[in-house]
Structure 1
Amino acid sequence: MPPFFGRYGMRKVVAWIHRYLGLSLGGLLLISGLTGSIIVFNKDIDATLNAGLFQVQPREARRSIDDILQNVRAAVPFKDAGFVFLPQSPDLALEVWFRDTDLRAYADPYTGELLGTRNAKSSLMGFLVDLHIHLLSGETGERVVGWAGLGGIVVSALGLWLWWPKRGRWKQALQIKWEAAPGRLWLDVHKLVGALTFVLFVLTATTGAALALYELITEPVLIALTGEGARKSAPKSRSSSGAAAPVSPMLDQAALLFPGAQITRITLPAKPNAAVAVRMRLEGEIHQFGRTFIWFDQYDGSVLRVDNALLANRATRIQSWLYPLHTGVYGGLATRLLQVMVGLSLSLLTLSGAWLWYRSYSARSNAAKRLKALKTLPERM
């Protein structure tokens, strides 16, 4: 055993790392836990709080995407429409995101009427989502969140090692002494909550870090594990000039290629030679928005490429699981509620750990002061 461990004991060293790594990451983990537990139901809450933008009256026929985009562009002439999010429920509005800005537009898919615009970060849920993903600091904040997630896994693993009971003591380890003093009570709660939520927390933190550090870590790891990556360059339109083809026929063609599939998003071309991407969710896909893409030439509307998620390489299939696992949608309402509990448990662990450390620190500090006072007592007599 190395001298350091021999001198202090492995358990003390592990406890020291667990304590102070947890304290150093506490603020970030608290933010992640609280915001994450709320934004699990982000769309539902946002639609309730902003019914005027999201809620529409279902009708029999819908206006074409081209008519709606024309109305949106007329209302917001100086912004470049980049993404169209099709409503996934008959009573929800269609959403248009503009490039290089946080501006969003909302339209009634049945009448084509513009319901309003807003800055995404000006809403409560937009603020919480940005805080959870980016710490309100863009790409830099996202990377900080990713590294904090990996650090949280280390803290959690060390905590589990410290909690793990010796042979025959499982009953004791799984109990909370409710009649004990506050310090012992909260120590029991801290240990047991950490142990019971370990697997789900590691799953959430791993997938969150994988998404936040995708280019830096995840894609290289996928390439190393499978021999191929999930990233694939988008095809280009055959021309770089001319009149743009209407989008509605592209959606019709996508529906013919995959009958019964759900069209979730449209990516409009950002450059003269870029393509239009129609994103779909096929039956059997785990990702809530699907990872199937059909690419169209923006000028003649012809199909350039079809990326069927069900036939994708292993790296892409693994990548498709990251977001559903992180958000809890893979098992429906039950797993989403579990994600809420994971976020709240992380907050409880952070706060209880900080309180236990402060209580211990205060006790040691007060003891040191009393000892110092006793040593100086003869000098005062």
Structure 2
Amino acid sequence: MTSTIRSGVRSRSFWVRLHRYVGLVIAVFLIALGLTGSVIAFERELDAWLNPELFHVPERAVPVLSLDTLARHAQQFDPEAEIITIRIKRDHGESIRVDLKTEQGTMRELFLNPFSGEALGARVRGAFVMDRAHVIPMVYRLHTNLYLPGRWGVWLLGGIALIWMVDCLVGFYLTLPPPLRSKEKNNSCRNWLSRWKPSWSIKRQAGQVRFNFDLHRASGLWLWPVLFMMAMSGTYFNLNAEVFRPIVGLFGDLTPDPRKTLPGTLQSGVDPVLGFSDAVLVVHQWLPAGNDNLELSFVRYMPALNVYRVAFDQKGRGSEVFAIKTEQVFIDGNAGTLTGRRGYDSGTRADRFLAWQFPIHSGQILGIYGRVLICITGILTAMLTMTGVVIWRKKCKSRRIK
């Protein structure tokens, strides 16, 4: 029995060191991701507050212009650019955003008055520019790829998310009370819970070192489900094809992504027969039955495939609890035939599990309350990481004194 306890102590010491040094390696990233994630939890609202001239338009007693008319206005703004996406989903009094690809390959976001087609302004997507128009997109890109070239930033942050997910499990294990000796095992369940209880609280009137340790441990425990799901969904976003989909595919069938299975048409410079408005009319026949709770989100044309991608969101998505359903329909740009689809109701159970990841990561799964939770969690993640660094520094100082 004594040897078993000693073995458990050595094992626990290993996990303590692992948790400590893994946390130090990813500390800077977690602080950056936590703080930027807190901002983009309310990305749209903050962007509109900073740039009212781009987002806000006076309401008028006339219908919104058709998608084809809006596309013509966007083309007039930059005749050489290629229209990629028209984002229809908006609140009352908001503009419509059109994504353009310039001849140089730069992506621009153009904001149009939906009633007149007037261009309200434009900005370069992801540009590292410190002004009101670019600050929120800049924070978003920092959160997703750290401005590293190619997919290096995506892969790096995916690896950080994967390591963080494992570290969350290690951290949780370390909050559990160590095993008791055999003579101390009377009323073991109650005794075990009573010994675990201090891990959930911060000792009052404790010294600075103890306070910092309790703050780190208790905060991590109370936030643990959210932190673990943030790490897991972060892996989904950044290592989807490399890690997440293959693992989920072991437990259920996944619908192939039409963007990766359709052959290219090589029809560069050739306009499709269908326009944006026609594409929206055609795709309704391919939506699942009972789609009255869906609203149009965006229409994207993919010239390399000659395919329209038309996306629908559940009404109230982003503001209401469990409004998480989405449907995307892919149709041929000439014939209007179905080339693929993916979504919540039309997908498999594994597809639905994947569909939960964005609402979880953004907090939209719980509507506005979830987004507030994610905003607070991002700040607390940075705090939790910094308290871990402080604990390590205190350990280092105590060793030098000895």
Bucket of the pairwise TM-score, normalised by the shorter protein: 0.7 to 0.9
How many angstroms apart in 2 are the aligned matches of 1:39 and 1:268? 26
Residue matched to 2:76: 74
> 2:301 is matched by which residue type in structure 1?
L
- Contact kept in structure 1, 2:253 and 2:348, CA below 8 Å: no
- Contact kept in structure 2, 1:33 and 1:344, CA below 8 Å: yes
How many angstroms apart in 2 are the aligned matches of 1:61 and 1:29? 46
How many angstroms apart in 2 are the aligned matches of 1:207 and 1:343? 14
> 1:85 is matched by which residue type in structure 2?
R
Q: Does 1:247 align with 2:281?
A: no
Residue matched to 2:139: 128
- Contact kept in structure 2, 1:266 and 1:277, CA below 8 Å: yes
How many angstroms apart in 1 are the aligned matches of 2:14 and 2:264? 60
SS at match of 1:329: coil
Q: Does 1:164 align with 2:176?
A: yes
Alignment of 1:172-251 (within 5 A): 172-233=198-259, 244-251=273-280
How many angstroms apart in 1 are the aligned matches of 2:365 and 2:331? 30
Residue matched to 1:311: 346
Q: Does 1:98 align with 2:100?
A: yes
SS at match of 2:251: helix
Residue matched to 1:376: none
Residue matched to 1:274: 306
Q: Which has the larger displacement, 232-241 or 199-208?
A: 232-241
Unaligned runs of 5+ in 2: 179-191
- Contact kept in structure 2, 1:186 and 1:352, CA below 8 Å: yes
Q: Which has the larger displacement, 38-47 or 240-249?
A: 240-249
% of aligned pairs identical? 22
Q: Does 1:341 align with 2:384?
A: no
How many angstroms apart in 2 are the aligned matches of 1:219 and 1:343? 26
Query: What do residues 74-103 of structure 1 show as CA deviations (whole Å, max 9, x unaligned)?
Result: 211232221111132122111111234232
SS at match of 1:96: strand
Q: Does 1:363 align with 2:395?
A: no
How many angstroms apart in 2 are the aligned matches of 1:359 and 1:155? 21
Query: What do residues 189-219 of structure 1 show as CA deviations (whole Å, max 9, x unaligned)?
Result: 1110011111111011101111110110122
Change (3 A) 1:139 1:155: same
How many angstroms apart in 1 are the aligned matches of 2:276 and 2:145? 33
SS at match of 1:226: coil
How many angstroms apart in 1 are the aligned matches of 2:272 and 2:19? 61
> What is the CA distance between 1:324 and its match in structure 2?
0.8
> What is the CA distance between 1:255 and its match in structure 2?
5.2
Change (3 A) 1:129 1:26: same
Change (3 A) 1:308 1:287: farther
Residue matched to 2:124: 119
Q: CA RMSD in A?
A: 2.9
- Contact kept in structure 2, 1:219 and 1:229, CA below 8 Å: no
> 1:248 is matched by which residue type in structure 2?
S
Query: What do residues 251-271 of structure 1 show as CA deviations (whole Å, max 9, x unaligned)?
Result: 234457666431101111323
- Contact kept in structure 1, 2:57 and 2:113, CA below 8 Å: yes
Q: Does 1:108 align with 2:99?
A: no
> 1:76 is matched by which residue type in structure 2?
D
Q: Which has the larger displacement, 103-112 or 238-247?
A: 238-247
Q: Does 1:145 align with 2:157?
A: yes
- Contact kept in structure 2, 1:52 and 1:115, CA below 8 Å: yes
How many angstroms apart in 1 are the aligned matches of 2:56 and 2:28? 36
> What is the CA distance between 1:136 and its match in structure 2?
1.1
Change (3 A) 1:249 1:340: same
> 1:153 is matched by which residue type in structure 2?
M
> What is the CA distance between 1:284 and its match in structure 2?
10
> 1:38 is matched by which residue type in structure 2?
V
> What is the CA distance between 1:331 and its match in structure 2?
1.3
> What is the CA distance between 1:274 and its match in structure 2?
1.1
- Contact kept in structure 1, 2:307 and 2:331, CA below 8 Å: yes
> What is the CA distance between 1:363 and its match in structure 2?
2.9
Q: TM-score, normalised by structure 1?
A: 0.86
Query: What do residues 165-191 of structure 1 show as CA deviations (whole Å, max 9, x unaligned)?
Result: 361224433331231211111111111
Q: TM-score, normalised by structure 2?
A: 0.82
- Contact kept in structure 2, 1:230 and 1:315, CA below 8 Å: no
Instruction: Report which of the two structures shows the higher radius of gyration computed on alpha carbons.
Output: 1
Change (3 A) 1:277 1:288: farther
- Contact kept in structure 1, 2:258 and 2:340, CA below 8 Å: no
Change (3 A) 1:17 1:64: same
SS at match of 1:151: helix
Change (3 A) 1:9 1:243: closer
How many angstroms apart in 2 are the aligned matches of 1:45 and 1:134? 21
Query: What do residues 261-300 of structure 1 show as CA deviations (whole Å, max 9, x unaligned)?
Result: 31101111323x5112211125699997853223333235
How many angstroms apart in 2 are the aligned matches of 1:217 and 1:200? 21
> What is the CA distance between 1:155 and its match in structure 2?
2.0
Residue matched to 2:90: 88
Unaligned runs of 5+ in 1: 369-381
- Contact kept in structure 1, 2:89 and 2:298, CA below 8 Å: no
- Contact kept in structure 2, 1:244 and 1:299, CA below 8 Å: yes
SS at match of 2:302: coil
Residue matched to 2:166: 154
